[in-house]
Amino acid sequence: MKHPENRDTKQLYNELRRLSCEQLWNDEVPRFDAGAPEERMARVALVRAVGVVFSEAGTPGQQEAARTWLLRLLRDPEEKIRRYAMTAIPKLGAGPREEAELLALLRKTTLDRERKHLGETLDKIGGSATLEHLKAGEGLSAQTEQKVKASVARAESPGTLHMEGVFSNGEGLRIHLRGREGLEKIVREEAEAFIQRYGKFRIANVTSGLVVLVPVAPFSLADLYSLRCFGTVGFVLGTGRGGQESPEALAALIVSPLARRIFLAFTLGAIRYRLDFVAKGHQRGLVRQVANQAYALCPEILNDARRAPWSVNIDSTPGGSVVELSPRLVPDPRFAYRRADVPAASHPPLAACMARLAGPLGREIAWDPFCGSGLELIERALLGGVHTLFGTDRSPEAISIAKANLAAARVTVAAIRFACCDFRDFATIEGLGRSSVTLIITNPPMGRRVPIGDLRTLVEDLFAVAASALKPGGRLVFANPLRMESPQRTLRLEYRQVVDFAGFDCRLEMYRKTMAD
DSSP labels, 302-313: EE-SSS-SEEEE
Please count the residues of the chain. 517
CA dist 33 and 31 (Å) reads 6
How many domains does the chain fold into?
Answer: 3
Nearest to 207 by CA among 184, 231, 230, 235: 184
Nearest to 280 by CA among 271, 272, 290: 290
Domain stops at, among 327, 351, 386: 327
pLDDT of residue 469: 98
Please indicate, yes or no, if residue 159 is contained in any of the structural domains. no
Q: Global pTM?
A: 0.86
pLDDT of residue 136: 77
Looking at the structure, tell me whether residues 44 and 62 fall in a common domain: yes
Looking at the structure, tell me whether residues 318 and 358 fall in a common domain: no
Please indicate, yes or no, if residue 149 is contained in any of the structural domains. no
pLDDT of residue 78: 95
pLDDT of residue 2: 44
Looking at the structure, tell me whether residues 251 and 297 fall in a common domain: yes
Residues 6+ apart with CB under 8 A from 249: 240, 241, 242, 321
Q: Is the dihedral of CA 75, 81, 82, 85 positive or negative?
A: negative
Helix (H, G, I), strand (E, B) or coil at 476: strand
Residue 496: count other Cβ atoms within 10 Å of its Cβ: 12
Looking at the structure, tell me whether residues 371 and 466 fall in a common domain: yes
Nearest to 105 by CA among 93, 89, 285: 89
Looking at the structure, tell me whether residues 179 and 284 fall in a common domain: yes
Please indicate, yes or no, if residue 148 is contained in any of the structural domains. no
pLDDT of residue 389: 98
Residue 308's CATH number: 3.30.2130.30
CA dist 494 and 498 (Å) reads 14
Looking at the structure, tell me whether residues 312 and 408 fall in a common domain: no
Looking at the structure, tell me whether residues 227 and 361 fall in a common domain: no
Residue 111: count other Cβ atoms within 10 Å of its Cβ: 12
Whether the Cβ atoms of residue 232 and residue 311 lie closer than 8 Å to each other:
no
Please indicate, yes or no, if residue 147 is contained in any of the structural domains. no
Looking at the structure, tell me whether residues 113 and 129 fall in a common domain: yes
Helix (H) or strand (E) holding 258: helix 257-266
CA dist 407 and 401 (Å) reads 10
Looking at the structure, tell me whether residues 344 and 487 fall in a common domain: yes
Contacts of 4-11 spanning 24+ positions with Cβ under 8 A: 5/45, 8/42, 9/44, 9/45, 10/45
Looking at the structure, tell me whether residues 198 and 226 fall in a common domain: yes
Nearest to 437 by CA among 413, 462, 467: 467
Whether the Cβ atoms of residue 379 and residue 391 lie closer than 8 Å to each other:
no
Please indicate, yes or no, if residue 275 is contained in any of the structural domains. yes
Whether the Cβ atoms of residue 65 and residue 95 lie closer than 8 Å to each other:
no
Please state the φ and ψ torsions of residue 313, each to the nearest 5 degrees. -110, 125
Please indicate, yes or no, if residue 442 is contained in any of the structural domains. yes
Domain stops at, among 263, 295, 327: 327
Please indicate, yes or no, if residue 35 is contained in any of the structural domains. yes
Largest CA distance in the chain: 92
Domain hosting 406: range is 335-513
CA dist 25 and 31 (Å) reads 10
Nearest to 468 by CA among 491, 492, 449, 441: 491
Whether residue 331 is preceded by a cis peptide bond, meaning omega within 30 degrees of 0, is yes
Q: Could you list the pLDDT tens digit for every one of the 517 residues in the chain?
A: 444 456 688 999 999 999 999 999 999 999 999 999 999 999 999 999 999 999 999 999 999 999 999 999 999 999 999 999 999 999 999 999 999 999 999 999 999 999 999 998 998 898 989 988 887 776 678 888 898 989 888 888 888 999 999 999 888 899 999 999 999 999 999 999 999 999 999 999 999 999 999 999 999 999 999 999 999 999 999 987 654 458 899 999 999 999 999 999 999 999 999 999 987 666 788 898 999 999 999 999 999 988 999 999 998 877 778 899 999 998 999 999 999 998 777 899 999 999 999 988 889 999 999 999 999 999 999 999 999 999 999 999 999 999 999 999 999 899 999 999 999 999 999 999 999 999 999 999 886 666 787 999 999 999 999 999 999 999 999 999 999 999 999 999 999 999 998 888 999 999 999 976 5
Q: Partners of 327 in the beta sheet?
A: 310
Nearest to 370 by CA among 433, 406, 416, 420: 420
Please indicate, yes or no, if residue 183 is contained in any of the structural domains. yes
Looking at the structure, tell me whether residues 223 and 98 fall in a common domain: no
Looking at the structure, tell me whether residues 352 and 312 fall in a common domain: no
Whether the Cβ atoms of residue 229 and residue 179 lie closer than 8 Å to each other:
yes
Helices assigned H by DSSP within 20-95: 21-23, 29-34, 37-42, 45-57, 60-73, 79-88
Domain stops at, among 303, 327, 351: 327
Whether the Cβ atoms of residue 274 and residue 159 lie closer than 8 Å to each other:
no
DSSP labels, 137-200: T----HHHHHHHHHHHHHHH---EE-TT-EE---TT--EEEE--TT-HHHHHHHHHHHHHHH-S
Nearest to 67 by CA among 102, 35, 34, 98: 98
Residue 358's CATH number: 3.40.50.150
Q: Partners of 206 in the beta sheet?
A: 211
